[in-house]
Structure 1
Amino acid sequence: MANGLYDFAIVGAGMAGASLAAELAPYAKVLVLEGEDTPGYHSTGRSAAFWEECYGGPGVVPLTLASGNYLRDNGFLRQRGALYIGREEDRAAMDGFVDEFAGTGVTIERLKASALATRVPQIKPEWNDAIWEPACADIDVAGLHQHYLSKGKQAGVDLSCRAMVVGLDREDGGWRITCRDGSTYRAARVVNAAGAWADDIARWAGAQALGIEPKRRTVAQLRVDPVAPDDLPLVLDVSGGFYFKSDNGRLWLSPHDEIPSVPCDAAPEEIDVARAIDRFENVTNWRILAVERRWAGLRSFAPDRLPVYGPDPIVPGFDWFAGQGGFGIQTAPAAARVGAQILLGHGPDTLTRGVDTSNYAPARFSDRKARVTG
């Protein structure tokens, strides 16, 4: 089907594009265009992902919960548990967190200080309040991404790498897509799964940018004394200042940063690593022996921090599958199924029955844009 007419051309082969292509392929002719040499080079390939029911807020919970069984049943999760921690001055934030997720279906419970110290043996005593989330698990990100790439390939998806899109032109009721290397493709519909580049792709299509903003997230791998236990939970500051977890005797630490960035090949900044270490040393008694690795990736957010799935409200044949922030991997199964159902006109199934797709429609930004431009 190379260079022929496709039903859908998806821009981006990260987790978003790969998963959506796999869900569409049984029903349509699908092309995936990836600008890099390999799929998942940017955010997907740099994720320290975990399946964490509260991550992304109550608006993302339905997608997360709907994805859980798929991830577990296919062997992509390893149980860990998560702790949101705070001090006396964080009491209001802890209470607010519990109230925020009441009635959403997540499982959380308040822990006493003694239980916190047992789960995090090097915790400093002033960090004496905790919320326990037992269902949190590590995600095999590479395995999940390859799963969708393989599933798509078996269903007939054509994947073209080194295919940086530089032109989208309407032609005969569809699209002529031009790539930087001069190659061209034709498709009835274009799906924007370009992550940090989503607004740029929208402009190529003549659509209005939705204000999807890339933000840099930094992670450092630490060697510590004593060695971090393998059963250490994911530990998060309830006020959003840090998180850390163990990995094969090392610790992965992030300052939980969200630094606005242009779309790029993100690199860690020394100041962000230093900030993370300073916060970590104020929380635990672990002695840092070395910073062994550091990396950064871009997470892209719509203005309301919810994902954007479905047809553009103005440009026919142009669809969105973007703005998935830091939760795009943990919600991939439900998000891809929802996205495919919207694009194909299919109704919900057992996986997506509890998801209200109207919450994620691109048209929700139409009134905001009219007010800004009017």
Structure 2
Amino acid sequence: MSLAAVLRRLATAAVTLFGVAVVVFVLLRVAPGDPIAMMIGPGASEADIAALRARYGLDQGLVTQFFIWLQGLIAGDLGTSISLRSDVLGLLGQRLPATLELAGAALVVALLVGGTIAILGTLARRSPGEAVVDGANGLLLAVPDFIWALAFVLVFAVFIPVFPLTGRMDPTIDMDFATRFFLLESLVRAEFAVFGNIVSHMTMPVLALALPLAAIVARVLKGALIEAMGQDYVLLARLKGKSELRLVLQEALRNALPATLALTGVQFTFLVGGTVIIERIFAYPGIGNMAIDAVINRDLPLIQGIVLAFGAMFIAINLAVDLAVAALNPRLRHG
């Protein structure tokens, strides 16, 4: 993908993000409910209510409110959370790394599990083992992430309590983190006890997010591998005496990756969106859990900031996937 193409995509992304901001802003303002009424005490006077409206800019017209908010957005100010009384940008900076680590770990697990299932299914094609692999993959595909989450809570936190149920790590851990990426930082700093504790807290939510995506990866990759196994270059390699496993890994896999990677990128955006309910189930302190509280409290500035953060993530993921697919496919890279 050329530099001009990347710049065009970035320009399109900016326009898309602006459109998302406009739609969310308007929908939140026309939706029923008064955020000020939800945060003010029952004995407040009309003057108190008017002062709060003025503080959060809700006493202005809709167009004026939007341009005030847009001016702040350009300056890097997303406003102040009505329910948490804190800077929205600061809140996103605190919570977003937790969600990124959760989604990133789930993606890695999904690729490993899905890739393994696809390779096993390809090696077992036209044999009884293929039906077993396809059946297991169908089970993973049929069960949504929140059902997996509830099942894991029941089995591994209630019946056999081997994993912590809530939180990101034990509150007794005393470590001075330089960043909010606790998992990555503890690994880089070789704090393996802390790293293991964080992993134990992430295990159930990561698996709940990863298993449905793994089933999609397995299905797409297996189809691409079987198609590649019928190509002439694979037949030539087979005539040279290569084993089926080497044919799959060395010959077919690299040609099956681009299509799988493209679909995985699209599904990964749904995985990031799925963190909302998963974080709520496990009381995981990420942006998804905060989004539910923001909606319940009708915290307009915080909802707008969270939606923009999700929109920016989706656009960045899609752009990264396009670049990766172009890098793996010479016809797209030089086209």
Normalising by the residue count of structure 1, what TM-score does the alignment of the two structures yield? 0.20
Higher relative contact order (CA 8 A, sep 6+): 2
Structure with greater helix percent = 2
Larger Rg: 2
Higher strand share: 1
